[in-house]
Structure 1
Amino acid sequence: MLELKEVANILTGVAVQEAGDGPARFVRLSDLSELRCGRIPNLATGEEPAVARAWAIDEGDLIVGARGAATDACLASQSVVGAYISLDLYLVRPDPSKIDPGYLAAFLELPTTQAALAGSKQGSGLARLPKDALEKIRVPLPPMQKQQLVAGLASCVRAEADLLKRLIELNSILGREALARAICASTPPTHS
């Protein structure tokens, strides 16, 4: 097992200077739920960050929530590549020679990992995960082939969950439509 900082760079976000016509795009904490569901979030736009620590999201990066009850983490989708992360997020850039990004995402989603991260949060209200706590989380490192198999399995599990959620939504719509038709069919027409 190695600490996360030994297999990935953990970068902090930047302040978002929103301007409707600015060339830069920014991922905010509120965008994580959209990204986790595979949807394309409506990103804030603004001026390019002027700080040297501003890193644009790249393919294979993970976006990790710094605030909230859960520590949401997701692989960056193509829709956010090139965007910057806000102050309430961390950008985790895995070293591909040491760890598979999909494997790392699956590890961060585990209940035991979530519990360890939750125990490190500080503050009341919207608690914050300190960067050093994220850096020190210990990650098991099986051989790369096994990491890739776990990453593939995690991707299938997420896809199945997304399909089941969509199926439940469609079933609910179908049920409401069937009820509406039944009510309309049983109601005698009114004549004026």
Structure 2
Amino acid sequence: MESYTNISNSLIEDENLSHTEFRVMMTLIRYYNTDLGYSFPTRELLVKKCRMNKDTLGRVLNSLEEKGYITRSKREGKAGRNNIYYINKYLVGQETSSQASTKPKPNNKSRNKKKQATEPQEDLDYKLGYIESSLEFARDFRDTELAELKEVDMKIIERVCEEMRGETDISPFVFLLDLQKCKRGIN
């Protein structure tokens, strides 16, 4: 069975990427898991699919992270530790995202721009501003997570923020799970 990968045409036209960076970006996008919100191919798979040695791959991954195209993180699993790759640019539907062009900060704290909570309550910017002024996140909300957030009532968001207040490095995924639990408890 044939499979396809949707990519943004902007990736092909990006003159800031070397040919090796382009190849790695394409491979990371190919192995992107929409349910999890990240890509997690092994380094061995990246070396094989990108047709480069492990030293070159390391330099390319460092460069992509410095340029803000990806953010790397560690994941503990049954097979031990491995890298996961958050793709900050060029996922289809992500081109206009406020986080898609923001360079990651070294401390890996939230990179979404802080927004003042002065807009209408049902507006996504207001919700995001409220959440980020209340809690400290380990990473940005992905586009799929923002879409979920858009559908949640502000009262539920306020309740979950109050329950999680004081926690640090919260995963947006965990936050959304708590929103869903709270939502089911209310409805």
Shorter-chain TM-score above 0.5: no
TM-score, structure 2 length as denominator?
0.28
- For the pair shown, the structure with the greater C-alpha radius of gyration is 1
Higher relative contact order by CA 8 Å / sep ≥ 6: 1 or 2?
1
